[in-house]
Amino acid sequence: MTARLDHVAGLGVDAIWLSPFFTSPMRDFGYDIADYCDVDPIFGTLADFDVLIDRAHALGLKVIIDQVYSHTSDQHAWFKESRASRDNPRADWYVWANAKADGSPPTNWQSVFGGPAWTWDARRGQYYLHNFLSEQPDLNLHNPEVQDAALAAAQFWLERGVDGFRVDAINFAMHDPQLRDNPPAPDDGSPRTRPFDFQSHVYNQSHPDIVRFLERHRALTDAHGGAFTVAEVGGPTPEAEMHAFTRGSTRLNSAYGFDFLYAPQLTPALVKKAVETWPDEPGTGWPSWAFENHDAPRAVSRWVEPEHRDAFAAMKMLLLLCLRGNAILFQGEELGLTQVEIPFDKLQDPEAIANWPLTLSRDGVRTPMPWQADAENLGFGAGEPWLPVGADHAAMAVDRQTTENGSLLNLTRGLIATRAANPALREGAMVVVEADDALLVFTRSIAGQRLICAFNLGNAARAWHPAPSDRFRVIAAVNGAAPGDLPAYSGMVLEQID
């Protein structure tokens, strides 16, 4: 990673976000942590991490790392001690409960990855809770000692120079202590590929005391120079939770949901609904947006026909960078990478394996980054990679796109520079003024600057004209967009001139 930081800095971004690199059995790609304060040997050492921090800072990049407070690995020393008996010092560090009279689990809660969220442990003669894999037992974050230990891990990395945290699955971090059953979910017609999908997650997610822990977390990060924090939030009421987690100045700095990550289509209505849940009002928090990440299929493979992918990728990039809030890019998104089809015998994703073939594998977005078109494994490294490289990714490799003036990579660099140069795009208010089946128009405004952003999200040309009284200049445009004419999958940004 350190050797590739020049590429990241060359995009013009402010920071990098690293997914878990901590000591782990890797049953869930590092989200099953066995030691919060060390680097897994497959990635390097603490000394290597220090070098990465120093190099990133020298390039002007902040470093944000994942923190997983909901659960650990079953190989963590805390869990090994907790499961040894009911009266050891860490007996209450995880969520343990007695069986029902008939021996069945304490509640009907289901795991995200399939099957019951409870596993029997013969040593304690009790069930333990795991919202994900059985190898990922849930921490009892209601326990102040557990909160102290989680915050101590965060402090360890802050003192090592990290600039912020992405807080994973925080809405799973506390459960209902009364262990009440979840009610069935109303059938809204959405596909149900797992038992998890059949319940309303009233009691195993989104406990109101989570915000108290986040306030302690914010106090810690504020004491270390105001380190940045962003939460991932899913669940039945993500908008309410994101606002609760970010409200005021004593909780997290930002949050993002799955508005775009799991959406089957990118539509004006989807964008309008998502952005209007974050009004430009004091105390409502600051959103973050992502069209792709490590848990969702590549957007160009989800949202558009293959023949339109290049145009769509350019339009999508401009749109993301025009939204009010932080823009998050996933590795390879700046190249327009497509989803890789992974055969069953090469799958690594436990969720995809458990729910094959109905759940689209996360592996297809986690394939090696294509650095060099003609190198072994496209320059990712020697030997057999964890997942196969994409068959069509050589043509999108970094070295090829770097030398192509019209490449998505070079366009992305230019659009990020445009965002950085325009205060209204960075901090301005956003108002959607038009959103039909394909046309999306909104304004971004701040003292001294007003922008009009117009996009055609459809596959047929649309006419759109700014108001006759407006005087403007074009500061960004993709795919032939111009005042009066928005070709398929095009967009532009106009700056109003007084």
**pLDDT tens for each residue of 470-491:** 799 999 999 999 999 999 999 9
Q: Are both 384 and 486 inside the same structural domain? A: no
Inside any domain, residue 473: yes
Please tell me the predicted confidence (pLDDT) of residue 386.
86
Angle at 117 between CA 116 and CA 118, to 5 degrees: 90
In a domain, 130, yes or no: no
Q: Quick: pLDDT tens for 188-241.
A: 888 888 899 999 999 999 999 999 999 999 999 999 999 999 998 887 778 889
Residues of the chain with pLDDT under 70: 358-360
Query: According to the model, what pLDDT value does residue 279 have?
Result: 87
Query: Do 376 and 436 belong together in one domain?
Result: no
Q: 190 in a domain, yes or no?
A: yes
Any idea what the CATH number is for the domain that residue 468 is in?
2.60.40.1180
Q: Coil, strand or helix: which one is 424?
A: helix
Which of these three, 382, 414, 446, is where a domain ends? 414
Same domain, 181 and 37: yes
**Of 385, 414, 443, at which residue does a domain stop?**
414
- Is the same domain home to 357 and 227? yes
Q: For residue 120, is it within any domain? A: no
> What pLDDT digit, counting tens, does each position of 99-149 carry?
999 999 999 999 999 899 999 999 999 999 999 999 999 999 999 999 999
Same domain, 404 and 443: no
Q: How many domains does the chain have?
A: 2
Residue 404 lies in a domain: yes
pTM over 0.75: yes
Residues 204 and 153 in one domain: yes
For residue 405, the domain's CATH number is 3.20.20.80
Structure tokens at 46: 């603490």
Residue tagged active-site, from 28, 40, 74, 168:
168
Note whether residue 181 is domain-resident: yes
**The domain containing residue 466 runs over which residues?**
429-496
Backbone angles phi, psi at 416, to 5 degrees: -65, -40
Q: Is residue 334 part of a domain?
A: yes
Asked if residue 345 and residue 232 are part of one domain, the reply reads yes
Residues 341, 259 share a domain = yes
Report the distance separating Cα 9 and Cα 320, nearest Å. Answer: 19
Residue 54 annotated in active site:
no
C-alpha distance from residue 62 to each of 5, 290, 393, 441 (Å): 11, 18, 28, 33
What does the block give as tokens for 122?
């013969």
Amino acid at 453: C
Domain identity same for 359 and 336: yes
Look at residue 359 in the predicted model and tell me its pLDDT. Answer: 63
Residue 101 lies in a domain: no
Q: Are 388 and 438 contained in the same domain?
A: no
For residues 406 and 462, state if they share a domain.
Answer: no
- The verdict on 302 and 437 lying in the same domain is no
Of residues 232, 241, 259, 334, which has the active-site annotation? 232
Domain stops at, among 383, 414, 445 = 414
Question: Catalytic residue at 232?
Answer: yes
Phi and psi at residue 287, to the nearest 5°: -80, 160
